[in-house]
Chains A and B, each alone.
Chain A
Amino acid sequence: MCNINFIKQGLYVQNLPIYEADIPYIQDMLHTIQQAQLALEAFPHLHDEVPITIVDKGLIR
């Protein structure tokens, strides 16, 4: 996920710009997210939780 090729290809297939100067910062942020995600391992029953999503009460009658 933090691999430079993954970043460039991921942007390319989405038709998004690739600025070489941005890549190290994107890489660092993805690394931060990946490291932070490790905290979830302490909560093995996470899938028991219903994800919070925006529910428009006006649409559900």
Chain B
Amino acid sequence: MTDLSFLTASELAPFIQSRQLSPVELTEHLLNRITQFDPTLRTYITPLPDLAMRQAKEAETIIMNGGYKGPLHGIPIGVKDNFYTKGIRTTVGSKLLANFIPDKNATTVDKLLNAGGIMLGKQNMHELAAGSTGTNPYFGNTLNPWNIQYMPGGSSSGAASSLASGLTTLATGTDTFGSIRLPASMCGIYGLKPTYGLVSTHGVFPTAMSLDTAGPMARSVSDLALMLTYMAGYDPSDPASLETSILDYGESLYTGIKGIKIGIPTYYLQDLDPDVERLFTKAIENLKYLGAQVRVIDIPELSMATFSSYATVTGEASAYHHKWLQTYPEYYSADIRTFFLTGTLTNTPQYIQAQQARRKIVKAFQQAFLEVDVLLGPTIPITTPAYSKNWLEQNLGVVKRTLPFTSPVNLTGTPAISVPMGIDRSGLPVGMQFIGNHLSEKQLLQIGSAWERTKPLGNRLEK
């Protein structure tokens, strides 16, 4: 067997099922790597070596006694630190919650653990899931393993960086205005932002409740499908949870994309960094070569996305944090405090108009999906920046530049998958996102899988 560090869950599961690989050996291997590399990369806030080894030994015993539960059994998972974990501190990347110990698990955590997943630890994140770079003045900045001078993207920074550096096999993420897709793009991994309500957010610390979505992050599309199969499902504890049947999300992965109609909104062709434009143009040609029908379409309503998302995110987040901002303002990093305080200065008419604009964008998307199967654009219009000394200005600047590309998916509650599309001139990965109609995850995974087989990064992740 090759190095365990970079094998996917889908590759590892048959070895675990056939008892050729022990979950204990796999977990020990990753814990050793965390000890070796995480002091530099800072992908975990709270590693959980004792718990992980206990869970791994338990999994090993059950599997040896013929009780194999399925493809997540014995697979190590990193959990973003805004998912509640019973008896384990859940900091949400914030000094404010540095000692918060929930008395319950998030529904998603329960589901993954019940399927036999091994929780390696709680992962670093941009504070309160409200930023896009991965800085964290209190717990330490997460670094991008492709080049540690560069940001990994956020807010699921620990998840993306740990997957790209072989410090976990799978990871959970959340996405309010791009927090799964953006770090996936910057770290060269795969991330799925599901349909709003498909995956429970009960027990996930809120950022902006009407946009918050939990989803899988992984090194392969088949692993996204695997995780989603266990994460999705109706949860009566989540008022936004959808009562919909759960599909076998891995069923169509190898169907190909011949005849699939892809629409590229003109909106997603504006203000691209030259490297992003170059790689995106090449990606379009490759998709055509795979048999997809690609054309440019116009969705004028997308012009309202920036206003709508700023007003919604800052408004909802500031409402949640208002009391704490009054009482403990010094516990917030300057970028997050600034972001939230801005929300206290927008007004109710703006918030309501933002929600009207959202409905308009939803309708425009639905109209577009009558003509095309999926929409496509770069995940973000910029290449990954190196960390700047003026991190406050940089953080707010990266949000300003990237939110227009990531937030339409959150505003409309639609699903999107971010996949790597190539390497920029600085040697860092760049991603693109396929956006589907509500509950079209299976098709998105099918398209993502066909794209993955073109090996957009070569084998450069395994280094």
Query: In the complex the two chains form, is A22's CB within 8 Å of B341's CB?
Result: yes
Query: In the complex the two chains form, is A40's CB within 8 Å of B342's CB?
Result: no
Residues of chain B lying within 8 A (CB to CB) of residue A11: 341, 344-345
Query: In the complex the two chains form, is B310's CB within 8 Å of A33's CB?
Result: yes
Q: A40-B357, A52-B355 are in contact. Are A32 and B310 (CB under 8 A)?
A: yes
Least CB distance from B254 to A in Å reads 37
Q: A1-B345, A29-B342, A58-B239 are in contact. Are A39 and B356 (CB under 8 A)?
A: no
Query: In the complex the two chains form, is A33's CB within 8 Å of B311's CB?
Result: yes
**B353 lies within 8 A of chain A by Cβ:** yes
A57 to B322, CA, bound (A): 27
Least CB distance from B451 to A in Å reads 31
Query: In the complex the two chains form, is A22's CB within 8 Å of B338's CB?
Result: yes
Query: In the complex the two chains form, is A30's CB within 8 Å of B392's CB?
Result: no
Bin chain A's interface residue count.
35 or more
Residues of chain A lying within 8 A (CB to CB) of residue B306: 32, 36, 39
Query: In the complex the two chains form, is B341's CB within 8 Å of A16's CB?
Result: yes
Contact with A along B302-329 (1 / 0, CB 8 A): 0110110011001000000010011001
Least CB distance from B348 to A in Å reads 11
Residues of chain A lying within 8 A (CB to CB) of residue B322: 14, 16
**B400 lies within 8 A of chain A by Cβ:** yes
**A5 lies within 8 A of chain B by Cβ:** no
Contact with B along A21-61 (1 / 0, CB 8 A): 11001101110110011011011001101111110111000
Least CB distance from A7 to B in Å reads 6
A1 to B344, CA, bound (A): 12
For window 194-253 of B, CB contacts with A under 8 Å fall at 209-210, 239-240
A40 to B346, CA, bound (A): 16
**B398 lies within 8 A of chain A by Cβ:** no
Residues of chain A lying within 8 A (CB to CB) of residue B51: none
Query: In the complex the two chains form, is B240's CB within 8 Å of A52's CB?
Result: no
Query: In the complex the two chains form, is A43's CB within 8 Å of B301's CB?
Result: yes
Residues of chain A lying within 8 A (CB to CB) of residue B335: 25
Contact with A along B394-406 (1 / 0, CB 8 A): 0010001000000
For window 398-426 of B, CB contacts with A under 8 Å fall at 400
CB-based nearest A residue for B392: A25
Contact among A10, A28, A46, A57 with B239 in the assembled complex (CB-CB below 8 Å): A57
Least CB distance from B336 to A in Å reads 11
Query: In the complex the two chains form, is B310's CB within 8 Å of A40's CB?
Result: no
A-B contact count (CB 8 A): 114
**B68 lies within 8 A of chain A by Cβ:** no
A6 to B345, CA, bound (A): 9
Residues of chain A lying within 8 A (CB to CB) of residue B329: 16-17, 19
A49 to B353, CA, bound (A): 9
Contact among A6, A33, A47, A49 with B307 in the assembled complex (CB-CB below 8 Å): A33
Least CB distance from A56 to B in Å reads 4
Least CB distance from A58 to B in Å reads 7
**B57 lies within 8 A of chain A by Cβ:** no
Residues of chain A lying within 8 A (CB to CB) of residue B346: 30, 33
Query: In the complex the two chains form, is A19's CB within 8 Å of B356's CB?
Result: no
Residues of chain B lying within 8 A (CB to CB) of residue A42: 300, 303
A48 to B54, CA, bound (A): 57
**B288 lies within 8 A of chain A by Cβ:** no
Query: In the complex the two chains form, is B307's CB within 8 Å of A26's CB?
Result: no
Residues of chain A lying within 8 A (CB to CB) of residue B358: 51-52
Residues of chain A lying within 8 A (CB to CB) of residue B64: none
Query: In the complex the two chains form, is B345's CB within 8 Å of A47's CB?
Result: no
A29 to B311, CA, bound (A): 11
A22 to B307, CA, bound (A): 21
Residues of chain B lying within 8 A (CB to CB) of residue A17: 325-326, 329, 337, 341
Query: In the complex the two chains form, is A29's CB within 8 Å of B300's CB?
Result: no
Residues of chain B lying within 8 A (CB to CB) of residue A15: 326
Residues of chain B lying within 8 A (CB to CB) of residue A49: 356-357, 359-360
Residues of chain B lying within 8 A (CB to CB) of residue A1: 345
Query: In the complex the two chains form, is B359's CB within 8 Å of A36's CB?
Result: no
Residues of chain B lying within 8 A (CB to CB) of residue A10: 344-345
Q: Identify 15 new A-B residue pairs, CB closer than 8 A, beyond the known A33-B342, A36-B304, A39-B303.
A: A7-B345, A15-B326, A16-B341, A16-B344, A22-B341, A29-B310, A29-B314, A30-B345, A36-B310, A40-B353, A46-B353, A46-B356, A50-B359, A51-B358, A52-B356
Question: Which 10 A-B pairs rank lowest in CB-CB distance, beginning with the nearest?
Answer: A51-B355, A36-B307, A17-B329, A56-B239, A36-B306, A49-B356, A39-B303, A29-B342, A49-B359, A25-B338
